[in-house]
A and B are shown apart, each in its own frame.
Chain A
Amino acid sequence: MAILFKNFKFNIFRTLPLIMLFFISLHGSSIIDLKLFSINISYILVYFWVLRQPATMGYGFIFISGIITDVVFGLPLGVNALSLLIIAAVAAYVRVVTVNITLINDWISFIPALLIANLIYFISLSFSNISIDYLSLFTNSVFTFAFYPILWAFFSLFLKVIRF
């Protein structure tokens, strides 16, 4: 009975990042807009969990969550899905080539992930009729990068709880 309860608790905790990803996509808060700047929470969420606990964040789910974000924000289908998959790809690559897990390693390798994802975002939108404020996109990238350690600390703590 105790083992069953422990397994149940483990499964619930393990799916929480995925539930969070879908919740913020459906709620339309994957990009938190704070008037002066904005932060892309879904990028951080996907990058961290694919890097540290890939089993919790299936690529198929990341794709669907990207499609949901596209629909909610009124962007062409596939823009956010592609960006999120690029973030996941960089995270998967970093996971293969690194041995030590430190905040600095994760944080620095998050820079190319953000750059490539936003480049893809930029290219995808330039093929559609939709224009966006590219300065906002740039400030969003800077503040998403700056905000990463805070969520890193929070998720690391959460990860310890799951593993415990």
Chain B
Amino acid sequence: METSREDVGIAVRSAFLRKGTQQRFSLLVLVIISISLLLIESVETKPLNYLRSIIKDTIYRSSLVVSGPSKGFNYVVQKVKDHTNLYNNLNQLKQENNQLKSKISREDFLKLENTQLRKLIDEQVDSPINLVSARVMLDKQSPYLNSFIINIGINKKIKKGLAVKDGSNFIGRIVDVNFFSSRVLLITDLNSKIPVIVEPSGNHAILSGHGSDLPDLQYLPENNKVKEGDKIYTSGKEGIFSPGIPIGKVKKKDGHLNVELFSDLDQITFVNIVLSNSEENK
């Protein structure tokens, strides 16, 4: 009995402590380094944050290079698909062209009218929201986390918690910022909880992701009047996001209230980040 226990001890020591042929580190040392990294992950100091940003930026750029061939392949596949749909596209484009021609004449008139009205009220056109655009650099969806990397970071004054939009629709928030890249946590992720308002009922709720395409609408009052098709907007209650950014519409599924998003999160190439309200800056 004692001999077999000794054997196990020898085997464990051999596995963990011996470096073996062509091994520079023993497993035990690397395990200790990994645990130390995990422990210092929550420590927020400037040198550590700088180091983390450098490591992450370097890995994101390398990942972009490695993903190049597969992206190229997907591009070629898409091009082949586009060519096979050429005839249908041509007919569709002809129809669209006719519609656009008729719209242009009306648009010219509207432009003229708009210029005259602006002159009249001496309006200074100013967007109430300060936006910055970014390109999706890496979109590596893990089965556990829904997020992607964008190509701007501290260099464009990006901060943690800022709202991210696809066009005018809310799709997520910034959770990690490096020098030249940032991570966007999508609203479908398990860790995403966004305060929202349902229109027209005006009920407040929390939009909670759970990994699938349809996030849940939670913490609604018991006597709510939420119906299928009601629109969901950010409520701005937590004070970080602007209120009234459209998110999606209510969809009832198996007795649960889910939200069908206005944006297709798999098809996003460019995003807008809401830096702050210009009114707040003033």
Give A contacts to B, CB under 8 Å.
23, 26-29, 31, 33, 38, 54-55, 58-60, 62-63, 66-68, 71-79, 81-82, 85-86, 88-89, 92-93, 95-97, 124, 127-133, 136-137, 140
Contact = CB atoms under 8 A, between A and B. Distances in A.
Contacts of B27: 59, 85, 88-89, 92
B35 A82 contact: yes
Contacts of B175: 74
7 contacts: A59-B27, A60-B23, A60-B30, A71-B55, A71-B59, A85-B31, A133-B143
A38 B143 contact: yes
Contacts of B176: 74
Contacts of A95: 15
B26 A96 contact: no
A66 B30 CA distance: 11
B144 A133 contact: yes
B147 to A, nearest CB: 5
A63 B11 CA distance: 22
Nearest to B7: A97
Given A72-B63, A75-B145, A85-B27, A66 B34 contact: yes
Contacts of A85: 27, 30-31, 34
A81 B62 CA distance: 18
Given A38-B143, A59-B24, A67-B37, 4 more contacts: A76-B38, A82-B34, A128-B42, A136-B144
Nearest to A92: B15
A134 B55 CA distance: 28
Nearest to B16: A89
A20 to B, nearest CB: 12
B124 interface: no
B183 interface: yes
A143 to B, nearest CB: 10
A55 B190 contact: no
Nearest to A127: B38
Interface in B6-43: 7, 10-12, 14-16, 20-27, 30-31, 33-38, 41-42
B140 interface: yes
A73 to B, nearest CB: 4
Contacts of B11: 93, 96-97
A58 B24 contact: yes
B38 A28 contact: no
A128 B169 CA distance: 30
Contacts of A71: 55-56, 59-60
Contacts of A29: 140
Given A33-B143, A130-B191, A26 B62 contact: yes
